[in-house]
Amino acid sequence: MASSTPSDAVVDKRALRWRSHPLVEGFRRSVLLIAVMLAVIASVHVGFGGLGYALLAAVFLAVSLSSYFLPAWYELDGDGAALRFLGRTRRLAWRDVRRVDVRKDGVHLSPFDAPSRLDPFRGLFLRFSGNADEVVSFVESQVAAHG
């Protein structure tokens, strides 16, 4: 007598969640980035002759590179995509996605039909974390279903 497939063997495709932390995931690149940052800070210190300027340069670099140094959490579900970073959550509903740009390190979801200067502010970038195929497949199926 054949047994039916157990319910826990069914893959749940309704939601996809992951964390991305580029600093930890790319060790060699991270070491190089930190070395370049230290060189820039040292150059500012020597060039401007003050520790205050070097500290200001360090703060500016850390803030501008925060998306690399700090982890981000992503969630894709039947309603849309969400990015949680620094305690703030940004969502984009699938019905609002007009363009999907697959890149080497992630997928950019845009509410515009054509590239726009507003893409970084209105769109949502989903950084891969060893799950590129799974994310692209999920995004494409949801955009097709809601578009």
Packing angle between helix 51-64 and helix 27-48, nearest 10 degrees? 150
Q: In whole angstroms, what is the distance from residue 29 CA to residue 136 CA?
A: 24
| Residue 12: pLDDT over 50 | no
H runs (alpha helix) in the chain: 22-25, 27-48, 51-64, 66-69, 119-122, 132-146
| Residue 7: pLDDT over 70 | no
Main-chain phi, psi angles of 34, to 5 degrees: -65, -40
Q: What is the pLDDT of residue 147?
A: 73
The predicted-structure confidence for 40-90, as pLDDT tens digits, reads as follows 999 999 999 889 999 999 999 999 999 999 999 999 999 999 999 999 999
**How many residues are given for the chain?**
147
The predicted-structure confidence for 93-110, as pLDDT tens digits, reads as follows 999 999 999 999 999 999
Q: What is the pLDDT of residue 45?
A: 96
Query: Within 13 Å, how many C-alpha atoms sit on residue 109's CB side?
Result: 25
CATH for 72-146 is 2.30.29.30
Main-chain phi, psi angles of 67, to 5 degrees: -70, -20
